[in-house]
Every structure is written in C-alpha cells, then in structure tokens.
Structure 1
C-alpha cells in the first residue's frame, strides 16, 4: 500500500487571516477554549480517500505535539508525531517521510499555544449543533485546505467534541477523517509515540 494516500494528512498547514463577525468570533473562541482544555484524546477513526478507500484504526493524541494513527491489523502504515516532527511510515516498502509539526494541518490540534482566531474561519453547516472551522491560504494554494468539524456537546471539553476533518491538497486529493468513541483527557503514556524504523535491518514492528 502506497503512503501517498496519506499525503493530505501531512500537507502543510493552510492559514488564512480571518476577519470574523461577532458570532464567528464567539464560536472560534469556543474552539480555542476546547483545544486548550484538551490534554489528551483517544478515539477510533475512519479514513476515506478520494477513491472511496476506507481504512480504520485508533488515534491517540497527547499535547503538546504528540499524535499517533495506529491503523487496523494488516495495514502496514503508521503516522506518529513525537513532539518535534510528524512521521509517516510505510512498513511494506520501508519508506519514511517527515514534516515539521508546524507545517502540518494537525498542528492546530497539537499546539495549544497557537491562536486559531488569527488564521481560521467558520463555515456554514446548516446545523446549529455543528461548528465547521476552515483554514486555508489563498496565497499558497499548494498548502491546500483543512476543515475541522466539532459537535456541540456539554460533556466534552469547553462544550465541543471533535468529530473529524477533511484535508484537500492542491491536486484535489481529499482525505476525510471521522472520529468516534472519543475519550478526553485520559492517561496516555509517552511510549505510545515511539516507532520502529523499517529501514533498519529486520525491523518489522509498528
């Protein structure tokens, strides 16, 4: 399986200088509160690419800077951030790619110090229960677009539950992540973000 299907996940963060209205300011501030109240999260995920291919697995997040996408049994892929770089590993072809966290759309989730009110805007959803937050940079189309979806939920941090996101790169490759069974601020060991380099002789672990 080629690691290319994950490219939209690790594309550089798309940024827009927004000038929101009062309602947008309030909701964006709520999203900011949610992200800053989120120390860790474990969730099941479903990933769909533009061809409709679906992969599933478990996402583990621990801030600042760490995340792991552990794919279902039999899928030789792994995405992990150790707090410094986001790494994509294909154990089948022994390929490793790395990006600085700041150049990834996932940085909005991983860096609690970022002020998203400066680079994000709300998108209409037609459903008052859902907040949709889009980030893009029209001056840098190669960065693509990422849109995060939150469900209003009083039991979640700051009253919001991250439901997933859509990343669209400049070539039109779309990757959709849907989350379920979210568990917030649960204990997560640092060892969850270690990985085995497949380029080392005999390395075949994930």
Structure 2
C-alpha cells in the first residue's frame, strides 16, 4: 500500500500556489451534502494543475477527468510523465522506465473516492474530518472498509462551490498535494485519453 501511495506522491502542490488567499469576510462551511452534490454535478472536467513532489520539486501539467473511474495527468516538459486511471487500473508512465508503466488497482488508491459514480461523503465512516478555516472548507475522506489505503483531503471554496485542492496522506503520515486551476466542467473529454493499453502502444520505447 505504501508503494502505491508513494507513486501518488507524483500528484502534489501547496495551497498558496493556487492563489487561495484570504478573502474579505467569513465564508460559510459547506455541508457534506452540498459537496457531494457538486462532485456529482459533472461527469467530465479538465484544467491545469501544479504539483510539488515529495522531494520539494515542482511540476505542472493538465488534468482530465471522466467519471466514473477515469482520470489523466499529463506532465509538462521536461518531466513528460503521465498518470492514467481507466478500466479499474491506475497506470504511472515514467519516461525513465524501460519496463512499461507501473499499474495498481484504482480501488486501492484514495483517488477512487472522487472518481466514484455516486459520491456520497455522508456515508458512514467515510469522512474523518470536516472543517472550515473561514476561507475554505476541507473534508478528509477514506475508504471506510479499507482505511489503510490512505486518505484524501479535499479543499473547496464557496460561492460557487469549487474543488481547489486535494491532499493525499499515506500510511506513514506523509502528505502530498495537488492544486487545481479553474476546472472546466462538462468538457468534451474523449474516452481514448483513459485507455491504458492504447497509451502503452503509443508510449515511446
């Protein structure tokens, strides 16, 4: 499990880089039902992301989402890596590898929580924390049947509700963060982007 989560450390970034500075006034805490409704309101989305890796290096790229079960991270040069979830698998493409992508069951990663067909954060024992700092609302969730798979903290801004960041915590307590730009929801995101086999055939040897 820790190996899977370590690979997910390639998906990370600090909140301050998203421009989520304090706003005048005091934002309300968004309810779990509202957050679940927002996440269920779109099947597709795309946008830019910025990442800080576990070693402190910074990466940027583009993210594509197609629920249920599909997500794609394309990293900008010089990194040129890629992470794809599709067909129940999570594949990590590393240009330095000559053995093909590392692959893991998606159900064993915290990303599963936000890629479900019907997201219900009110499910028993799924949410372990639900807080507001006056500017954002944070929800920490885990697989209630497999808490050892790790957790994901989702950070939202209000008016309108938007997902701005997530933080993955592994079983050793290490945290990594993905900060999102403005997601374009309802975008035309073709299924081929999440076809791991097709990407393996196209990936440079």
TM-score bucket (shorter structure): 0.7 to 0.9
Distance in 2, matches of 1:93 and 1:100, equals 20
In structure 2, C-alpha distance between the alignment counterparts of 1:82 and 1:140, rounded to whole Å: 21
> Does the C-alpha gap of structure 1 residues 185 and 122 become closer, same or farther in structure 2, counting only changes over 3 Å?
farther
Cα distance in 2 between the residues matched to 1:149 and 1:29? 15
Separation of aligned partners in 2, 1:91 and 1:177 = 21
TM-score between both structures, scaled by the size of structure 2: 0.75
Corresponding residue for 1:120?
Answer: 127
Contact 1:67 1:81 in 2 (8 A): yes
Contact 1:82/1:194 (CA < 8 Å) preserved in 2? yes
Contact 2:70 2:194 in 1 (8 A): yes
Deviation (angstroms), 1:192: 1.9
Considering only aligned residues, what root-mean-square deviation do their CA atoms show, in Å? 2.9
Partner of 1:67: 71
Q: Does 1:204 align with 2:204?
A: yes
Equivalent residues of 2:74, 2:80 under 8 A apart: no
Name the SS of the counterpart of 1:55 in structure 2.
Answer: strand
Give the number of aligned pairs.
181
State whether structure 2 residue 149 is matched by structure 1 residue 148: no
Counterpart Cα distance in 2 of 1:137 and 1:113: 14
In the alignment, structure 2 segments of 5+ residues that lack a partner are 12-27
Q: 1:203 to 1:56 in 2, by over 3 A?
A: closer
> Is 1:132 the equivalent of 2:164?
no
Alignment partner of 1:104 out of 78, 101, 109:
109
Q: Is the 8 A contact 2:93 2:101 kept in 1?
A: yes
Following TM superposition, by how much is the alpha carbon of 1:34 offset from its aligned partner in structure 2, in angstroms?
0.9
Displacement, 1:77? 1.6
Contact 1:120/1:134 (<8 A) preserved = yes
Could you tell me which runs of 5 or more consecutive residues in structure 1 were left unpaired when the two chains were aligned.
11-22, 155-159
